[in-house]
Amino acid sequence: MAQAESQDHLGWKVPPAVGLSSGDVAERITAGHVNRVTNTSSRSLWEILRTNVLTLFNAIVVGSFLVLLLLGQWKDALFGFAAVSNSIIGVVQEYRAKRLLDRLAIVEAPRARVLREGVVLEIPREDVVLDDLLVLRTGDQVIADATVLRTDGMELDESLLTGESEPVEKQYGMDLLSGSSVVAGQGEARVIRVGAGSFANRIAAEAKRFSAVNSEIRRGIDRIMRWVTWALLPVVVIVANGQMQALGGWEYAITSGVWKSGVAGAVASVIAMVPLGLVLLASVAFTVGSVRLARQMVLVQELDAVEGLARVDILCLDKTGTLTEGSMLFDAVHDVDDDPPAGWSDVLGWFGADPNANATARCLSGVFAHDGTLRPVSSIEFSSARKWGAVSFASGGTVGGTWVLGTPGMVLTEGGPGAEQALADAARLASSGLRTLVLAHAPTVTSVQDARLAAIPKALVPVVLLTFREKLRPDASRTLDYFRRQGVGIRVISGDNPGTVASVAREAGLDVDEGYDARRLPEGPEELGEVMENHLVFGWVTPEQKKRMVLALRGRGHVVAMTGDGINDVPALKEADIGIAMDTAAPATKAVSRLVLLDGRFDRLPGVVAEGRRVIANLERVSVLFLSKTVYAVAISLAFGALLWSFPLLPRQLFIIDGPTIGIPAFFLALMANDRRYRPGFFQRSLSLAVPAGLTVTIVIVFVNAYSRIVGGYSDDAVRTASLLGLDMVAMWLLVAKSRPLNVLRVLVIIAMYATLALLMVVPPTASFFTIEWPPPSLLAASLGAGAAGSLCIELLFRSHTRRYPLSAGTTPS
């Protein structure tokens, strides 16, 4: 179809019959109208390093580390490795996500076919310019937005872009979206948008935008770190002054050189306040969780996503590729003619075996036999625009005449023989979500030379109605049932017909009457949120609406997970708290998702939820151990600074607290089974026990040091050891309490920690390293008595806390 020379929106001449000239191409390249985009994500490597390394947290730890090294106190500087490890994990994880996003591409075809100066050329897709004439054939991917100039039965698969599962026939003047694929016919189209302005690249740009997982654990840890940071400077000043005054005053400490031990004490208070182990343990727990999920064929692309699904209360599902496998199944034959013509089943076998059959017609091949003996006079391939196909056989045979297979409303004429009842039956079947076709027959033989100009043969009589349904994933029903029992709301969001979506949802076990037509969705977020609360199934949903629906649910306080496999799902997956891609998903869809089901098994999701619950429940359990240490570190620092006493512990002695009473057992506890259902308020519950527990430890330490000063005559190392014993007794009992309900494995961990603690303080090499000096009997008795009293207090606090938060300890069946 030749078109007259025209002008585009920039005023340039556009000769569609022969394509652009070399001068036209050069003019557009100079103006920057080429099909190139900057292939970077929103986070540079420098930004990643700055975010994970150049933090106030690291500055505090590294500064303390360097101070001790400069003072020659390398034994007290071992804590620096925790900060290094945590930074490395953060940088590696985020850089991995950056590389994944940088490789994101919706348009995958490396080359394009264009017509320039009357010659068809194959060029790199980046060299396509505005107004180029694309020459499209079956199997090609559209590499830039374009308008159809010529078509020869060209049909495009836009399912990844729009969610529509049926191919779309394109006529002159219709737009083609970049990223769609030609599945039938051929044609030519003029490029109207290139580079960042094209549909595919606009979605890709949004997908590459950096966004962090909404992690309550990370937020809680960051909040604690901010509190500690604000408290750090005044506490350090108080502790340093107390240290120097205890050593004889600032002037004496500086002139005599004993200020070094005072600085070491101040650093000990700083390091004790920072929950180094909790930050590192969270990263390790997420990493181990992702490894466990990888064994279940679930790829975790961001560590914090392991936690995310434990908090999800709304799961949004795409129908095609998630609830269904994306293919059609033959459902049933429905009689409409009491005396149908002979051979109708053979004709259906021919339609199913036709090489040009569409996906729906091919479903017939496994049900109706075709032995290859039927020889048609003529045939018309099925077209998504016509909604029917036809075949004629010579008169005189058992199948003589013309047979038409297609949509009842397009094939049958109202008022025709048997049409009224057939159309009524078809409408009833279609309302249940089944795809319905009719096989109709006319005794005359029709010869058609050009299928595009074909008209429906007259006097067609309906023979049978055929229904088809999408193939439901075998694991869909039991997976949805699991989420219902767990109190997770389900929303099915699809670009398909609302009735079809509702039918699939009912087959999967959801109690729904009909689907909501997304064309009626309100624009306002509050009104949209209300609709999302009250309806479960939505059809005719556009990609932009999916995004707004997710945002509306999040705006109402829900934690939203979204599954999908198409490009049309990318904006919604990006905005969801947790995006989940199926194995059949487009590469871009996988790139923006937090989780990818590598084997496409929908029933993997309960296991993912269980892993997330294990991580967050166990981290809640052990966070009390770390946070109580932060509390008593701050309280001890303030108390001893106010009393002008030396800090009661050396930095290296903190390892005896961090290791056996917190870090090592916390690692094992964080990896044990725990299927407790998540409840909001993670850190509120943790702090409600950690604060009184930390104050209890403070009272014990103050008592031991006050006793030593009242009685007098004890060495500094003996007092530190007595303080360490009292503190360890209380901290160990807090560990025992938070390990409940006890089982064999937890009991073994506790016994091992008691043994480790004893060995560290008794074996000569380690005792010497940690400067352990066993106190005289009187001070030892005071330390053990204070520790026992503190342990009793911890027991009472724990029982009170458990009554207030009955699910905060132990494993409770969900």
Return the amino acid letter for 308.
Answer: G
Catalytic residue among 313, 318, 337, 354: 318
Helix ranges restricted to H, 671-681:
none
Q: Cis peptide before 571, with omega less than 30 degrees from 0? A: no
Q: CA–CA separation, 402 vs 407, rounded Å?
A: 16
Q: CA–CA separation, 49 vs 35, rounded Å?
A: 32
Return the amino acid letter for 720.
Answer: R
Q: Are the beta carbons of 471 and 455 closer than 8 angstroms?
A: no
Q: Is the dihedral of CA 157, 163, 164, 166 positive or negative?
A: positive
CB under 8 A, 24+ apart: contacts of 82-85: 82/276, 82/277, 82/279, 82/280, 83/57, 83/58, 83/276, 85/280
Give the Cα-Cα-Cα angle 705, 657, 654 (nearest 5 degrees): 75
Q: CA–CA separation, 791 vs 243, rounded Å?
A: 29
35 contacts: CB under 8 Å, gap ≥ 6: 125, 126, 127, 128, 129, 143, 144, 191, 194, 195, 198
For the question of residue 599 being annotated catalytic, the response is no
Q: In three state form, how does the secondary structure of 554-611 look?
A: HHCCCCEEEEECCHHHHHHHHHCCEEEECCCCCHHHHHHCCEEECCCCHHHHHHHHHH
Let me know how long the chain is.
Answer: 814
Other residues' Cβ atoms within 10 Å of the Cβ of residue 455: 9
Q: CA–CA separation, 264 vs 266, rounded Å?
A: 5
Q: Report how far Cα 184 is from the mean position of its chain's Cα atoms.
A: 35
Closest of 792, 801, 787 to residue 657, by C-alpha = 787
Q: CA–CA separation, 807 vs 621, rounded Å?
A: 11
Strand order across the beta sheet in which 578-581 lies: 298-300, 595-597, 578-581, 560-564, 314-317, 489-493, 537-539, 516-517
Other residues' Cβ atoms within 10 Å of the Cβ of residue 19: 24
Q: Are the beta carbons of 354 and 376 closer than 8 angstroms?
A: no
Q: Can you tell me which residue has the tokens 């031991």? A: 704
Q: CA–CA separation, 134 vs 142, rounded Å?
A: 8
Q: Hey, which residues are catalytic here?
A: 318
